[in-house]
């Protein structure tokens, strides 16, 4: 049974679980639709999905570290950059992003708005859960 926690933290934990399941299923869906996905991308997607689900599972049990790990996990997904010689992208399959592109040299920079919102939400949930746990442990020590 989950410990008492703010409703926003519970909703975020469930979002992380659903996001984890959908992210873990992404390589399967890509294969079913005939898309070739490189092995490195599959590994990154599986790690993102597993960690998101794990954070949601432990977040449901009001563990502060799970929300901080979720913050870091989505912070990695908040931006991506592509050019002819270098690329950086850990953006998962569930995203809402916008970006800028340059013609010479050809490159692109994207910001994932969903990941930024989840980062802010996870930090807020971690602080709320931590404060609630401190309050509950303080009242238990007084009793």
| Residue 139: per-residue pLDDT | 67
**What's the whole-model pTM score?**
0.84
Query: Any residues with CB less than 8 A from the CB of 27 and at least 6 apart, and which?
Result: 37, 42, 45, 46
Query: How do residues 60-77 score in pLDDT, each as one tens digit?
Result: 998 999 999 999 999 999
Count other C-beta atoms under 10 Å from residue 76's C-beta. Answer: 18
Structure-token match 């908040």, residue found: 78
For 16-37, the DSSP string reads HHHHHHHHHHHHHHHHHTT---
Query: How do residues 11-21 score in pLDDT, each as one tens digit?
Result: 999 999 999 99
Q: What are the CA-CA distances from residue 120 to residues 55, 67, 74, 123, 135 (Å)?
A: 15, 10, 10, 5, 23
Q: What is the mean pLDDT of residues 74-102?
A: 86
Q: What is the mean pLDDT of residues 106-126?
A: 93
- pLDDT band of residue 1 (cuts 50, 70, 90) is very low
Q: What is the mean pLDDT of residues 102-106?
A: 83
């Amino acid at each position: 049974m989950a410990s008492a926690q703010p409703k926003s933290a519970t909703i975020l934990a469930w979002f992380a679980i659903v996001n984890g399941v959908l992210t873990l299923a992404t390589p399967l869906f890509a294969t079913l639709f005939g898309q070739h996905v490189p092995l490195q991308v599959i590994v990154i997607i599986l790690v993102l999905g597993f960690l998101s689900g794990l954070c949601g599972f432990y977040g449901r049990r009001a563990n502060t570290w799970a929300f901080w790990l979720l913050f870091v996990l989505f912070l990695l997904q908040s931006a991506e950059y592509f050019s002819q010689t270098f690329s950086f992208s850990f953006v998962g399959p569930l995203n809402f992003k916008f970006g800028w592109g340059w013609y010479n040299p050809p490159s692109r920079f994207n910001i994932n708005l969903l990941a930024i919102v989840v980062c802010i939400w996870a930090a807020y949930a971690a602080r709320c859960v931590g404060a609630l746990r401190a309050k509950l442990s303080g009242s238990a020590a007084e009793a």
